[in-house]
Structure 1
Amino acid sequence: MDIRQLQFFVEIVRLGSFTRAAERLHVAQPAVSMAMKKLEEELDLVLFNRQERKISLTAEGEIFLRHAEKILDEVTSTETEMEELRGLAKGEVRVGIPPMMSAYFFPQIIRDFSTRYPNLHLAVSGEGATKIQKMILRGELDMGVIAGVSLPETLELRRLLREEVIACVPRDHPLAGRTSLTLREFASQQLIFYKEGYSLRELILDVLKEAGFSPNIRFETNLYTLVKSLVRKEMGISVFLRMVVTEDDDLVAISFDPPLYLDLLIAWKKHGYLSRANRAFVDFLLEKSARQAP
Structure 2
Amino acid sequence: MDIRPLRYFLAIAKSASFTRAAEQLQVAQPAVSMAIKKLETDLGLTLIHRSDRKISLTDEGKRLLLHAEKITQAVDDALLEMRELKGLNQGEVRVGIPSMLGSYYFPPILMAFRHRYPSINLKVIEGGTWQLQRMLEQGELDLSVIVAETLPEGLETHRLLKEEMRVTVAKDHPFSQQESITPEAFFDEELVMFKEGYFHRRVVDNLAKTTGKQPNIGFETNLIPLIKSITQQGFGVSTLLSMVVENDDKLISRPFNPPIWLDLSIAWRKGAYLSQANQAFLDFVCEQGQPNNDL
Query: Shorter-chain TM-score: which interval?
Result: over 0.9
For 1:147, give the aligned amino acid: V
1:70 aligned onto 2:70? yes
Deviations 1:173-216 (A, max 9, x none): 22223221111110101111111101121112212221222222
Q: Which runs of 5+ in 1 are unaligned?
A: none
Partner in structure 1 of residue 269 of structure 2:
269
Structure 2 counterpart SS, 1:274 = coil
Q: Which moved more, 1:279-288 or 1:210-219?
A: 210-219
Identity %: 50
Hey, what does 2:46 align to over in structure 1? 46
Is the partner of 2:30 in helix, strand or coil?
helix
Structure 2 partner of 1:174: 174
Aligned-partner Cα distance in 2 for 1:148–1:30: 45
SS of the residue 2:176 aligns to: coil
- Say if 2:93 is the partner of 1:93: yes
Q: Compute the displacement of 1:90 (Å).
A: 1.5
Counterparts of 2:51 and 2:86, CA distance in 1:
48
Query: Conserved in 2, the CA contact under 8 Å of 1:16 and 1:54?
Result: yes
**Corresponding letter in the other structure for 1:137:** E
Shift of 1:261: 0.7
Q: Tell me which moved more, 261-270 or 150-159.
A: 150-159
- Indicate the SS of the match to 1:88: coil
Quick check: 1:149–1:203 contact (8 Å CA) kept in 2?
Answer: no
Q: Report SS of the residue matched to 1:272.
A: coil
Task: Tell me, in whole angstroms, the C-alpha distance in 2 between the residues paired with 1:290 and 1:241.
Answer: 16
* Deviation readout 1:65-94 (Å, 9 max, x if unpaired): 222222211211111111111122121110
> In the alignment, is the contact (CA less than 8 A) between 1:154 and 1:270 conserved in 2?
yes
SS of corresponding position for 1:119: coil
Q: After superposition, give the CA deviation of every residue in 1:42-80 in whole Å (9 maximum; x if it has no partner).
A: 222111112484322222212222222222112111111
TM-score, structure 2 as length reference: 0.94
Q: CA deviation at 1:110?
A: 0.5
Q: Which moved more, 1:56-65 or 1:88-97?
A: 56-65
Q: Quick check: 1:147 aligned with 2:147?
A: yes
Match of 2:206, as an amino acid?
A: D
Secondary structure of 1:222 counterpart: coil
The answer on 1:125 being equivalent to 2:100 is: no
Residue in 1 aligned with 2:60? Answer: 60
Distance 2:67 2:212 in 1: 44
How far the C-alpha of 1:30 sits from its partner, in A, is 2.2
Alignment RMSD:
1.7
CA distance in 2, matches of 1:168, 1:292: 27
1:15 aligns with 2:9: no
**Paired amino acid for 1:280:** A
TM-score scaled to structure 1, two decimals?
A: 0.95
Contact 1:168 1:254 in 2 (8 A): yes
CA contact 1:165–1:261 (8 Å) conserved in 2: yes
SS, match of residue 175 in structure 1: helix
> Are 2:27 and 1:2 equivalent residues in the alignment?
no
Q: Aligned partner of 1:130: which letter?
A: W
Amino acid at match of 2:84: E
Deviates more, 1:54-63 or 1:165-174: 54-63
Query: Unpaired segments of 5 or more residues in structure 2?
Result: none
For 1:29, the aligned partner's letter is Q
Q: Return the letter of the residue paired with 2:45.
A: L
1:3 positional shift: 1.8
Letter in 2 for 1:60: E
Report the Cα distance in structure 1 between the residues aligned to 2:152 and 2:49, rounded to whole angstroms: 30
Q: Which amino acid aligns with 1:14?
A: K
Which residue is equivalent to 2:245?
A: 245
Contact 2:5-2:36 within 8 A present in 1 as well: yes
Structure-1 residue corresponding to 2:218? 218
- The residue that corresponds to 1:228 in the other structure is 228
Q: Which residue of 2 aligns with 1:165?
A: 165
CA distance in 1 between partners of 2:31 and 2:189 (Å):
58
Q: Deviations over 1:125-148 (max 9, x none)?
A: 111101101111121110111112
> What residue in structure 2 maps to residue 197 of structure 1?
197
Match of 1:41, SS? helix
SS in 1 for 2:83: helix
Cα shift at 1:151 = 5.4
- For residue 13 of structure 2, give the secondary structure of its aligned residue in structure 1: helix
